[in-house]
């Protein structure tokens, strides 16, 4: 009985603390997020590249730019739906800017390959930046123009810059493939010549500490 009375005595204080905690949670600033979408050939590789970036919260493999709703991987691979393999990046703009994400995109693709990317050819493997608003469009187009003007490449930049339409997530076995199947992933990445071609274009691969390399 005595213990019960002591518990009752503490209830008002506990309620006050709980109320303060709830109010603090409601007023605490929520992290802002934004979305960017990139197609750079095999989405396994693009997903891996963006998951390394500080400020990126998620990178999801999927399909964009086609004419069929909810396409399967097998259907997209028939090259009849118009979809490209792509990655939807959710990021914190206070930690990484869209311009930095675009810069990192270029360094993970072959911008002058108009037929696909590396050993993968055809429309599903085309490179593209899919913008979500006018500001993203402006940044992407300016970045593309600057890359072309840099004279790094003799050929024209083949990457498309297109308004983002519906994005359909790929099947679960495609998500985080580089983590789920490391040996097969590395075999594909090097067997396809991706790593070698990127080093030829951009130099030896390095981590993206500030995305200004």
- Higher pLDDT: 167 or 213? It is 167
Residue span of the structural domain in which 90 resides: 34-202
Residue 47 has pLDDT above 90, yes or no: yes
Check pLDDT > 50 for residue 21. no
Catalytically active residues, by annotation: 42
Whether residue 28 is contained in a domain is answered as no
Q: Please report whether residue 66 resides in a domain.
A: yes
Q: Are 92 and 33 in contact (CB under 8 A)?
A: yes
Q: How many CA atoms lie within 13 A of 54 on its CB side?
A: 8
Query: What torsion, rounded to 10 degrees, do the Cα atoms 78, 81, 87, 92 define?
Result: -170
The model's pLDDT over 70-124, given as tens digits with 9 standing for 90+, comes to 999 999 999 999 999 999 999 999 999 999 999 999 999 999 999 999 999 999 9
Is 16 within the bounds of a domain? no
What is the domain count for the chain? 1
Q: What CATH number is attached to the domain comprising 153?
A: 3.30.1060.10
Asked if residue 208 is part of any domain, the answer here is: no
Q: 131 pairs with which residues across the strands?
A: 163
**Residue 174, in any domain of the structure:** yes
């Amino acid at each position: 009985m005595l213990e019960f009375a002591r518990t009752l005595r503490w209830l008002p204080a506990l309620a006050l603390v709980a109320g303060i905690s709830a109010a603090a949670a409601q007023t605490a600033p929520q992290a802002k997020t934004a979305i960017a979408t990139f197609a750079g050939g095999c989405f396994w590789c693009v997903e891996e590249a963006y998951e390394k970036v500080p400020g990126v919260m998620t990178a999801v493999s999927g399909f964009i730019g086609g004419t069929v709703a909810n396409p399967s991987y097998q259907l997209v691979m028939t090259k009849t739906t118009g979809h490209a393999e792509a990655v939807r990046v959710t990021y914190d703009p206070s930690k990484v800017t869209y311009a930095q994400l675009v810069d990192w995109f270029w360094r993970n693709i072959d911008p002058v390959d108009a037929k696909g990317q590396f050993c993968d050819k055809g429309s599903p493997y085309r490179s593209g930046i899919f913008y979500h608003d006018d500001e993203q469009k402006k940044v992407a187009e300016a970045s593309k123009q600057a890359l072309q003007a840099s004279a790094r490449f003799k050929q024209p930049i083949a990457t498309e810059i297109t308004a983002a339409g519906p994005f359909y997530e790929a099947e679960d076995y495609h998500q985080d493939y580089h983590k789920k199947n490391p040996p097969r992933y590395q075999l594909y990445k090097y067997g396809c010549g991706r790593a070698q071609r990127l080093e030829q274009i951009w130099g030896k691969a390095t981590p993206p500490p500030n995305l200004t390399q």
